[in-house]
Structures are given as C-alpha cells and as structure tokens.
Chains A and B, each alone.
Chain A
Amino acid sequence: DTAVSQTPKYLVTQMGNDKSIKCEQNLGHDTMYWYKQDSKKFLKIMFSYNNKELIINETVPNRFSPKSPDKAHLNLHINSLELGDSAVYFCASSQDPRSYEQYFGPGTRLTVT
C-alpha cells in the first residue's frame, strides 16, 4: 500500500491557468508538508499543516494556497501559473510537528508553458 500518494504525477499547463495537486497519506500522521524541488534538485519547504492547521508558511507567493480537508489530505492549489512555477512538488508527512522523520510522496512534475 502506498504510504503517501500524490495526483497527478505529471501536469503540463499554460501560463495563467489554475491547477491543483492532491496528496493523501495513510500512515495516520498528524503533520503534512509541501516541498518544491527546483531543476538543481534543491528541496525547499513551502507549507506545513498539523491536524488541518497551518503551522509553517514559507515565503511563497499567495498564488499558492494549501488546503487540508482532514489530517490525511493536503492539497495545493496554484492560481495564475507562471513559468517559474515549473518544478517537482513533493508532499510529505510526519507523525507530528516535532518528528523530523518525514515520508515523501512520489512527486508531481509541473511544467508551465
């Protein structure tokens, strides 16, 4: 069984469009994260939610809006997509905010043309 899953795996879209990426974890974890990995493979945290509450919000354009309907799901909605948004987006989860053992999903490769 997949522990952390993301959909879609690939997303190709045009500038200006709005898109969403979904994430689900079946590990029973309380905390979920969104990371962005750029073309140089650098991983940077974007957001973190604990039990549906936002606890980390890095300096991310407000075109990015995470939503957590329950603690097993964390979705990422992106408005007005720009070329610079092209990257691989990873969802991750951990037992709680103080557990730094994070488990990652397979990633969503977003390409904005």
Chain B
Amino acid sequence: GQQLNQSPQSMFIQEGEDVSMNCTSSSIFNTWLWYKQDPGEGPVLLIALYKAGELTSNGRLTAQFGITRKDSFLNISASIPSDVGIYFCAGRPFGNEKLTFGTGTRLTIIP
C-alpha cells in the first residue's frame, strides 16, 4: 500500500535550536496532517493542511503542503524540552479515503 517516508528518522538537537523534518510520497496527496506522540500517549494533531502551497502555523510550529502535492514539511522554531517526542506526518492519497501515516521522526533534546 501507499507509504509515506519521513526524514530524518531521528534528530538530536540542543534546546533553542530550530528543527526541520519532511515527509514524501510517491503519489499525490490531497490532505496532509502532522501529529506528535508523547511516550505512552496517543498522537495529538498539530496542524492540518488542505491546499497545495498552504503554509500554516501553530505557535512555534509551521507546516507546509508541498507544491507538487507529494510532500510536506514541518518546522519547529526555538525548541524547548517539551518538544521531545515522535512526530508523524499523515496524508490522504488522491482517490483514497484512508489516512496513511509516515514512519515518524523521533526528536530528542540534548541537555
């Protein structure tokens, strides 16, 4: 089935640094979403994107729906300790009703 590849797989950064991660697919997507999962919890929706080129912010988080409709990006500015977790992209492929999740990016903040 459809797969979404996230990059990088893991990140080790210092507090205060900016973070960038992306998600790519081999086919066109109509919707992109970004979730964050804390240990022992369910994924929490961060940002939803519905149009190619759309740029949406949620506090220090900014996500973009790629122009080609085959990718999406998430940036986190001035990281803080509570940003630690696994970030998942998710998308709805064109012509498909199901949401497909990416492989996840694990963010760790080094003291």
Q: Which residues of A contact B (CB under 8 A)?
A: 4, 40-45, 48, 55-56, 58, 90, 92, 97-98, 100-107
Contacts and interface: CB of A to CB of B under 8 A. Distances in A.
B33 A107 contact: no
A44 B48 contact: no
Contact of A102 (B40, B41, B45): B45
B99 interface: yes
A106 B31 contact: no
Contacts of A55: 97
Given A44-B101, A100-B33, A105 B45 contact: no
Interface of B: 31, 33, 35, 37, 40-45, 48, 86, 88, 90, 92, 97-99, 101, 103-104
Contact of A42 (B35, B92, B99, B103): B103
A104 B103 contact: no
B104 to A, nearest CB: 5
Nearest to A48: B98
A43 B41 contact: no
A71 to B, nearest CB: 18
Contacts, number: 49
Given A41-B104, A42-B103, A104 B97 contact: no
B5 to A, nearest CB: 12
**Which of A40, A42, A43, A56 has the most chain B CB atoms closer than 10 A to its own CB?**
A43
A45 B99 contact: yes
B97 A56 contact: yes
Contacts of B97: 55-56, 97-98
B48 A100 contact: yes
B42 A100 contact: no
Given A41-B86, A41-B104, A104 B44 contact: yes
A56 B98 contact: yes
Nearest to B43: A104
Given A92-B42, A102-B33, A106-B40, 11 more contacts: A4-B42, A40-B103, A42-B101, A45-B98, A97-B97, A100-B33, A101-B33, A102-B45, A104-B35, A106-B42, A107-B42
